[in-house]
Amino acid sequence: MPSSWQRQLAKAISKIENMDPQALSEAASLPLDNSSVQIIGVTGPPGGGKSTLCSQLIQALAAEHKVAALLVDPSSPFSGGAILGDRIRMQALVSNPNVYIRSLSNRGNAGGVGSSVVSILREVMSYSFDYILIETVGAGQSEVKIASIADTTLVVSVPNLGDDIQAVKSGILEIADIFVINKADLPGVDSLYTALRESAQKQVDGWTAPLCQTVALEGLGIDALLVEIDKHWQWLQQSGRLLEKRKFAAKFEIMELSRVLLQKHLDKVPAEVLARNLNRKDINLLQRLDEVYAEILNLFGEV
């Protein structure tokens, strides 16, 4: 049975997910710069063991801390079989009073996070968690968004998916604060390690992403991974990067929400009407949109 705070949080998240304007603006008034909670993003290929890894991390962290996990529902047909497995493993954690687990729909952002995710984070943060994990499927460009939101992004790779080189090319490696080679019990670890090492050795803003190996299924390598997660957290705080990241997340939030809110209204207008009005000189639709947005920004007083 979920307790009353869990029910209350679940309700608030649902409203935000449904883009309820009142819930969105209530969430917007909650702070995002709380530096007593670490937001950890976990991304990687479908079926890469992200949820198994998250369950292990949650289990380890929840021994002493309050942990929330937000799982973006995988819509990928590849991992159809795994979803049930996830749920069963996660179910075991649900009864832990230190743990809150919630699935989020990806609302058309294939594999990635939905537009209201930062508002959801604000809401979750207000419940004084020590850690918030967000799992997203790294199935395209969208997963890169996770790096705009998380303090610490774990990029999970798996040996022998044949995607060693593909991953190197796709840009997903650039978002890694920590590389995780999961399923390290399978053959092909060495060549994956070699493929990733080059990216891992690059220093970005003074941080060099470490390369960890895990067998999430058996809980191996989790302690070492937690040490790296903590090192990154210390570095974020000492370097001042944490507050920068949170500001970036707030910007991401405004950009996403404004786009979606505009679309919501445009969507209600029949195509025929929109098309007819688009090129009417007396209305100047695009120019007026631009002006309205500029006016809103002027209200911020800083533009």
Within residues 11-30, the interface with ligand GTP by CB under 6 A covers none
Using the rule CB under 6 A, which residue among 20, 26, 130, 185 binds ligand GTP? 185
**Nearer Cβ to ligand GTP (224/266):** 224
Tell me how many residues contact ligand GTP (CB under 6 A).
Answer: 22
Question: What mask, x for binding ligand GTP by CB under 6 A, covers residues 198 to 237?
Answer: -----------------xxx--------------------
> Which range binds ligand GTP by CB under 6 A, 20-28, 159-167, 178-186, 222-230?
178-186
- The listed partner (Mg ion, ligand GTP, none) that binds 212, CB under 5 to 8 Å by sort, is none
Within residues 82-111, the interface with Mg ion by CB under 5 A covers 86
**Nearer Cβ to ligand GTP (125/196):** 196
Q: How many CB atoms lie within 10 A of CB 166?
A: 12
Using the rule CB under 5 A, which residue among 38, 51, 119, 213 binds Mg ion? 51
Question: Which residue has 């786009």 as its token pair?
Answer: 259
Distance CA 167, CA 203 (A): 19
The amino acid occupying position 169 is K
Q: State the minimum distance, in angstroms, from the CB of residue 117 to Mg ion.
A: 16
List, in order, residues 6 or more apart from 134 with CB less than 8 Å away: 39, 40, 41, 42, 69, 70, 71, 72, 113, 117, 146, 149, 150
Which stretches of the chain bind Mg ion, using CB under 5 A? 50-51, 86
Which stretches of the chain bind ligand GTP, using CB under 6 A? 46-52, 74, 76, 79, 82-83, 85-86, 137, 182-183, 185-186, 215-217
